[in-house]
């Protein structure tokens, strides 16, 4: 059985209603700072609320203490960000197969980059392949060397491979722009590829890759 944890960070969470199925089927839901409040406002349970809670009101903090199963208050001055602390909690306290993370993108650029940089954090090397980062337009997963079979998400058009390190022998098949054993001696973003059908395969021999399935967001005119 694939046990799932969902971490909802304090950044732009988008419409949590779009993730109702994921949240409903999660074994553990962790709200980070304002993300915990967003969960309660959306009518979603909060198993663990974690953060320094400097971005929410005293009233909302009390609401979390009343409604959440567990509240972990962190000091404002600390080595980890609130989101990293939530991931650390999931890694150390939970036995789960997948850790979905929502609300990481769309806000401050420094926060967004620090969220992506968990891929390099030594404390998370044992779980980084369990992490899936999601927002309304993107699904990002991390991969270590190996061979993989990927299914197309129905609502996504694009497929990108972003090497977080140098990469050896990258092979892509079943896509518009295939590769047959390409080496890259520096991190590179291979973006806006597309599935030829509903499935594709990729493999590589060394490095770390972030794979992103994405779509364009059409903004409605006011």
Could you tell me the pLDDT band of residue 166, with boundaries at 50, 70 and 90? very high
Mean pLDDT of 120-131: 93
> In terms of domains, do 59 and 158 share one?
no
**Residue 204 and residue 127 share a domain:** no
**Pairing mode, if any, of strands 70-73 and 98-102?**
unpaired
Range of the domain at 39: 4-136
Q: What CATH number does residue 161 fall under? A: 3.40.50.10240
Q: Please tell me the total number of residues recorded for the chain in this structure.
A: 222
* Position 88 pLDDT exceeds 90: yes
Report if residue 209 sits inside a domain. Answer: yes
Share of the chain above pLDDT 90, in %: 73
> Based on the domain organization, do 60 and 74 belong to the same domain?
yes
Return the minimum-mean-pLDDT range out of 93-97, 113-117, 123-127, 174-178: 113-117
Among 97, 194, 115, which Cα is nearest to 150's?
194
* pLDDT score of 113: 86
How many structural domains comprise the chain? 2
- Are 159 and 193 contacting, i.e. CB atoms less than 8 angstroms apart? yes
Q: Is the pLDDT of residue 108 over 90?
A: no
Q: Please indicate, yes or no, whether residues 101 and 121 belong to a single structural domain of this protein.
A: yes
Q: Helix (H) and strand (E) counts for the chain?
A: 5, 14
pLDDT band at 12 (very low <50, low <70, confident <90, very high): low
Residue 98: phi and psi, rounded to 5, are -135, 140
């Amino acid at each position: 059985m694939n046990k799932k944890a969902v971490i909802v960070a304090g950044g732009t969470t988008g419409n949590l209603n779009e993730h109702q199925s994921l949240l409903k089927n999660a074994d553990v839901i962790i709200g980070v700072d304002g993300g915990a409040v967003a969960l309660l406002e959306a009518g979603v349970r909060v198993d663990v609320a974690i953060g320094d809670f400097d971005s929410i009101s005293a009233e909302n903090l009390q609401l979390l203490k009343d409604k959440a199963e567990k509240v972990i208050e962190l000091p404002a001055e600390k080595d980890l960000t609130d989101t990293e602390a939530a991931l650390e909690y999931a890694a150390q306290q939970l036995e789960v197969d997948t850790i979905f993370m929502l609300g990481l993108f769309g806000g401050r650029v420094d926060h967004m980059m620090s969220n992506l940089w968990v891929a390099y954090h030594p404390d998370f090397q044992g779980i980084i392949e369990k992490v899936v980062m999601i927002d309304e337009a993107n699904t990002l997963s991390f991969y270590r060397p190996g061979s993989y079979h990927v299914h197309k998400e129905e609502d996504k058009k694009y497929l990108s491979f972003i090497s977080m390190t140098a990469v050896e022998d990258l092979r892509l098949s079943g896509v518009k722009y295939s590769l047959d054993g390409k080496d890259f001696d520096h991190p590179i973003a291979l973006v806006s590829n597309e599935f030829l059908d509903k499935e594709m395969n990729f493999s590589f021999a060394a490095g770390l890759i972030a794979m992103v399935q994405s779509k364009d967001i059409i903004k409605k005119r006011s």
